[in-house]
Amino acid sequence: MSNDNGAVVTEQKISPASHSRTGEAADLLTASLDSLTPALVQRMVTTMAQMVEIIDIINTDEMKKLLATASEVADSLECSLRTLKEMADGGAISGLAQMGVFADALRNSMTSGIAIRSLSSVLSLAEVGDQMLEAVRDSVDEAKKDTRKIGPVALLNALKDPHTQESLKFILALSKKIPALLENI
C-alpha cells in the first residue's frame, strides 16, 4: 500500500502491550520504510554508488601508500602549514609570488644569448665570492699564526708592499660608498 506522495506504507502489527526495545526498533523500521519515496531511494542509491567509487579510489596501493606517508609526516606537515600561515599573514607569500611573477617575466624576456651571458655572470660572481671567502679564511689563519707585534714602523713598512697598497685603495673606495648603501637599508 502507498500514500499520496508515493511512499510505501506498511502495517504495524505490534500490540501496545509488548512495546519493548524490539517494538521500538520495529516502529523505527516501519517509520523509515513509510518515509521512503522513489526520489529518496534514487538519491540514496546514487550516494551509495558514489561512496563505492570513492572507496575504490582509496583502495589502490598508491592511495594506501599516500595515506600511510601522510600519517607518518602529519606532525611535520602541521608544522609546515603553521609556518606557511605565518608567512602568509606576514606578507612573505605575497612577496614570493611577486618574485615568481618577476622571475617568470624575466625568463620570458630573455633570449638564449642573454640567458647564457647572465648565467655566466652569476657563475663568475659566485666564483669571485668563493675566492674572497677563501682569502678571508687564509688571512684569518695567517693572522693567528703570526705572533709578532705590529707597531707603527711595521705598518709604515707594510705600506711599501704593492698588494697592501691595492688593498688599502679598495678599502678606502668601499668606505666612501658605505654611507649611501646604509641610507637604502
pLDDT in tens, 83-101: 888 888 888 888 888 888 8
Number of folded domains in the chain?
A: 4
pLDDT at 166: 92
Grid look-up 609570488 returns 97
Contact 77, 70 (CB under 8 A): yes
DSSP 8-state symbol, 2: B
Indicate yes or no: pTM above 0.75: no
Q: Would 129 be classed as within a structural domain?
A: yes
Separation between Cα atoms, residue 49 and residue 53, nearest integer Å: 6
According to the model, what pLDDT value does residue 41 have? Answer: 83
For residues 85 and 40, state if they share a domain.
no
Q: Render each residue's pLDDT in the chain as its tens digit; 185 residues.
A: 555 555 555 555 555 545 578 888 888 888 888 888 888 888 888 999 999 988 888 888 888 888 888 888 888 888 888 888 888 888 888 888 888 888 888 777 777 777 778 778 888 888 888 888 888 899 889 889 988 888 898 888 889 999 999 989 988 998 898 888 788 77
Note down the domain range covering 56.
16-72
**Based on the domain organization, do 139 and 118 belong to the same domain?**
yes
- Asked if residue 9 belongs to a domain, the reply is no
Helix (H) or strand (E) holding 181: helix 162-183
Residues 129 and 176 in one domain: no
Same domain for 88 and 119, yes or no, is no
Q: Are residues 103 and 64 both part of a single domain?
A: no
Nearest CA to 159 out of 149, 150, 175 is that of: 150
Confirm whether 10 is domain-assigned.
Answer: no
* The pLDDT value given to residue 15: 54
Contacts of 88 (CB under 8 A, 6+ apart): 94
Q: How many CB atoms lie within 10 A of CB 115?
A: 13
> At which residue does the C-alpha cell 570513492 appear?
54
- The values of phi and psi at residue 121, to 5°, are -65, -45
- Whether residue 66 sits in one domain with residue 24: yes
Check residue 165 and give its pLDDT: 92
Q: Are 33 and 10 in contact (CB under 8 A)?
A: yes
